[in-house]
Amino acid sequence: MRWAAPDQFAEFVRDRHAALLQYAYLLSGDRHLAEDLVQDALERAGIAWRRIERRDDPEGYLRRIITNRYLNRVRALRRERLVSAAPETGVADAERSDDSVIRLLGCLPRQQRAVMVMRYYLDLSEAQIAETLGCSAGTVKSTASRALTRLRRELASDSYLLPVEKGAR
């Protein structure tokens, strides 16, 4: 038996996929990882859509899945097997106008980056961010403060303008 997406889920994906993808890209700084995060979140949400839909904020639920999968990615990377040579090489993506923002965000640890993206891209309140991350509002405030301090320091040094190698963070 094949699973078929409810019409409401398909409509939600059509309407919000681009926004979720942009959120995941800002979080990760990597287009391919962002696509994987969104795909994984949509797979998980699709299976439980009827339950999720009854909640007030299905998009918030998906953002939480994306955020948690991104923050917990380190565990998944431990299971990867490293090889001496890459099986193939990719083609560099065309330079994007927001690359400097992505590079600047890349200077931050994952938790600080997540707080900054949720606060300034999604315009979420500290309480909403705390709920998404499963921490207190005070933790969100202190994390944001440390992130802003670091961003100011990076902006002053202009070191964020240098290309960031994948896997360096």
Indicate the residue type of 76.
Answer: A
- 111 plus 49 within the same structural domain: no
- The domain of 37 spans 7-78
Kindly give the parts of the chain with pLDDT less than 50: 91, 93-95, 164-169
Tell me whether residue 83 is in a domain: no
In a domain, 91, yes or no: no
Q: Is residue 134 part of a domain?
A: yes
pLDDT tens per residue, range 75-89: 666 666 666 766 665
| 23 touches 66 (CB < 8 A) | yes
pLDDT of residue 168: 44
Contact indicator for 150, 112 with CB cutoff of 8 Å:
yes
Q: Are residues 15 and 64 in the same domain?
A: yes
Task: Provide the number of structural domains found in the chain.
Answer: 2
pLDDT for res 91: 46
Instruction: Tell me the residue type at 136.
Output: S
Query: How high is the pLDDT of residue 124?
Result: 92
Answer for the pair 9, 44: CB distance below 8 angstroms, yes or no: no
Q: From 24, 44, 78, give the residue that closes a domain.
A: 78
pLDDT at position 26 is 92
Q: What is the CATH number of the domain that holds 33?
A: 1.10.1740
Q: Are residue 12 and residue 74 in the same domain, yes or no?
A: yes
Q: Do residues 57 and 117 share a domain?
A: no
Q: Residue 169's pLDDT is what? A: 42
At residue 154, the pLDDT reads 86
Does 46 lie in the same domain as 16? yes
Strand blocks (E) in the chain: none
- Evaluate whether residue 169 is within a structural domain: no
